[in-house]
Each structure stands twice: as structure tokens, then as C-alpha cells.
Amino acid sequence: MRAWFLAAAVMAFCGGAAAQQTPLQDKVKAVQADPAALKQAIEAGQKAAFFCFNCHGDSGISKIPEVPNLGGQNPAYLVEQIRKFGSGERKDQFMQGLIKVLKDEERVQIALYFGSQTVAPGKADPAQVARGKELFTKLCVRCHGEAARGDATIPRLAGQQIPYLQTSITRYRDGTGIRNNQLMAIATATLKNEDIKAVANYLTQLP
């Protein structure tokens, strides 16, 4: 019964989320459809994102293991997270202060810049990967996709660093993070610490 409820909840959540688009996400899509505008936006985004590089790295590969990679992330997803930080829907005093000064055009450019970067897979413990794949396929694949690259509303997990993944999954399971999410709480509820470690090892080695 619980497995059926989880599957139904995941399908409903993913289907509903995919239908929602914000004006900035629409702008990202419009720029992506114009190769010349996209090239110009990526170049401008590299300049506008200079203050992001200290933590997230100049190519979107985080310099701090507990901080997420932004490289290769879906630009529509990124620009929505930028909007949420700017509006206070996502809470982080440091991020909120930086993002509030950005114009909408700069937010779009930064999202497109980081989204255009290539993320190299991380190093994983081979002994953990098979178990991690099994758990990911069972609990996560419906929303995050078989390649764990997400979409406009669901984050890319492929290639993220292990400490960030472990911390984030644990917080969802325990309800101790700022970003509590009912579906994520359900999906992670049965995971033991060793399970979370296995999932993180599987995800980090994905291209």
C-alpha cells in the first residue's frame, strides 16, 4: 500500500510541477531558441556571475564539497532558484543579499552560463555504486530522470559532490533542512545512513 501511495504521489507531483512556468523561465526558453542571443547571454552571464565563483567555481564546479555544483544544471531550474532566493522563498542570508542586486536579465544570463558548462563525474566508491543505483531507480528516477539530470523544475543530481548529496538527502529524511519537501520526506524516509552514502556515490559518478 505504501509503495502504491509513493508512486502515485511522485507521479502527481512531477506531472504538476512540469506544467508550471515562470516569466523568467519563459525568458530562458526564448533565449535558448535563438543561437545568437544564447551565445551573447552566456558571455554576459560569465561576467555577471563573477561573485558566484568563490563558492560555486568559475565553471560551476563547487570549490566547497558541501555547496552544490551549478555547472550543467538546467537553466530554467537555476533561474527559478535564483528568483526564490531573491524573493526570500529560499532562505540563505548570504545568497539573498547577493541575488537581490541582480536584474532579471542578469539572472537569466547567469543561469544560462552555468547551464552551458560541462560537469565531470566525481570519484565514487565502486562498492557503493550498484546499491546506490538500485535505490535511486526505486525512489528517485520518476522525477530526477534515469540519468539524474532533472528538468526545469527538478534539480540535476548527476555529478554532484558526495558531501553535498549526503547532507541534502539526510536533511530531507530527517526534516532538518530549510527546504522541507513532503514528497522528498516520503521518498527518503526509509533510507539508512549507509543507503544515503550509496545513493550519493552512485549519483556523483554519473556524467
Q: What is the pLDDT of residue 134?
A: 98
Signed CA dihedral, 97, 98, 103, 109: sign only: negative
Provide the pLDDT for residue 10: 53
| Sign of the dihedral defined by the CA atoms of residues 165, 118, 76, 18, in that order | negative
Q: Is the pTM of this model over 0.85?
A: yes
Q: Which residues in 6-17 are b (16+ Cβ under 10 Å) and which e?
A: beeebeebbeee
At 130 the pLDDT is: 98
pLDDT at 125: 98
Per-residue pLDDT reduced to its tens digit, 152-175:
999 999 999 999 999 999 999 999
**Alpha-carbon dihedral sign for residues 44, 50, 56, 61:** positive
- Confidence class of residue 178 from pLDDT cuts 50, 70 and 90? confident
Q: Domain 126-204: give its CATH code.
A: 1.10.760.10
What's the pLDDT at 143?
96
Position 34 confidence tier, pLDDT thresholds 50, 70, 90: very high
177: pLDDT confidence band, cut at 50, 70 and 90? confident
Mean pLDDT across 135-140: 98
d(C-alpha 140, C-alpha 150), whole Å: 10
pLDDT over threshold 90, residue 206: yes
Is pLDDT of 45 > 80?
Answer: yes
| Region(s) of the chain under CATH 1.10.760.10 | 21-115, 126-204
Question: From residue 177, how far is each of 6, 114, 158 by CA, in Å?
Answer: 21, 25, 21
Structure confidence at residue 17 as a pLDDT band (50, 70, 90): very low
Alpha helix stretches (DSSP H) within the chain = 2-18, 23-32, 35-48, 53-56, 75-87, 93-99, 104-115, 126-139, 141-144, 162-174, 182-188, 193-204
Residues 76-97 have a mean pLDDT of: 94
Please give the CATH number for the structural domain made up of 21-115. 1.10.760.10
pLDDT in tens, 51-84: 999 999 999 999 999 999 999 999 999 999 999 9
CA–CA distance from 36 to each of 32, 39, 43, 104 (Å)? 9, 5, 11, 19
Report whether pLDDT(3) > 50: no
